[in-house]
Amino acid sequence: MIIRYLSLIAATALTLVSPAHADEITVLSTNAVKTALEDLGPKFEQNSGHKLAITWGTAAQLKAQIEKGAAFDVAIITDAGANDLVRQNKLASRTPLARSGIAVAIKKGAPKPDLGSAEGFKKMLLSAKSIAWVEQGASGIYLKGLFERLGVAEQIKSKLKAVRAAGEAVANGEAEIGFTQVSEILPYAGAEVGGMLPPDLQSFTKFSIGLHNKDSKPAEALVKFLTTQEAAAVIKAKGLEPL
């Protein structure tokens, strides 16, 4: 009788320690929020007992995967992409997360370019020996049109290097300058933010969290966690503007 009683206590204790409803949450996330999510993810896992399985990529790549039927619980992509997926009934809901402008990455300690005007920006482009960009990323898609609008597309064509991470490319010496979000420059010790695009040339990209199934409690818990004041402080520290 005593043994049965002790066994019952042990089983009860094990139940209390182990999460009763621990799930794996499949997340498709844009690289723009990678550093923030790498910080916040473990905190969410510790607090909730759930585990995150994250796939990183550009927002365009992830949207294409979702349209082809990729399995996921939560997607963090651009507002435009999320809105389109909602219209296609591939996202059940969308919640604003953050926004980011385009920054110029330079080698750590290098002179900062003149980004106070469109003319200064054009001069930087024409004088740079090599330019890294994420061609299919949100910033790259905008910049392609901007280069054409400024009349420098053909002149800098041979200098452009399509890379996975512009901040990393500059840090490693693969390119003299790079274009990307601030959050994708800060993680690399060999690179720094040379400045933001001039106000009249700047483009802000908004990012949202989308739920594949609005009835998924674990996924909903992640969305709620990432939109708390605590999460907003981390998102801001990583170079993004919380929404």
CB 152 within 8 A of CB 184: no
pLDDT of residue 16: 34
Of 1 and 192, the one with more pLDDT: 192
Instruction: Identify the bridge partners of residue 78 per DSSP, sorted by sequence position.
Output: 207
Distance between first and last Cα of the chain = 59
Helix (H) or strand (E) holding 85: helix 79-87
Task: Name 131's Cβ contacts closer than 8 Å, sequence gap at least 6.
Answer: 125, 156, 159, 160, 161, 175, 176, 177, 178, 179
Which CATH number is correct for 2-100+206-242, 3.30.499.10, 3.40.190.10, 3.40.47.10, 3.30.1200.10? 3.40.190.10
Closest by CA position to 243, among listed 94, 28, 116: 94
Is it the case that residue 15 has pLDDT exceeding 70?
Answer: no
User: Torsions phi, psi of 182, nearest 5?
Assistant: -55, -40
Is it the case that residue 14 has pLDDT exceeding 80?
Answer: no
Q: What architecture (CATH level 2) is domain 102-196?
A: 3-Layer(aba) Sandwich (3.40)
pTM of the predicted model, to two decimals?
0.80
Is it the case that residue 17 has pLDDT exceeding 60?
Answer: no
Task: Name 118's Cβ contacts closer than 8 Å, sequence gap at least 6.
Answer: 150, 198, 200, 201
Q: Which part of the chain is CATH 3.40.190.10?
A: 2-100+206-242, 102-196
Of 60 and 20, the one with more pLDDT: 60
pLDDT digits (tens, 9 = 90+) for 132-148: 999 988 889 999 999 99
pLDDT of residue 122: 97
**Confidence class for position 1, pLDDT limits 50, 70, 90:** very low
Is it the case that residue 203 has pLDDT exceeding 60?
Answer: yes
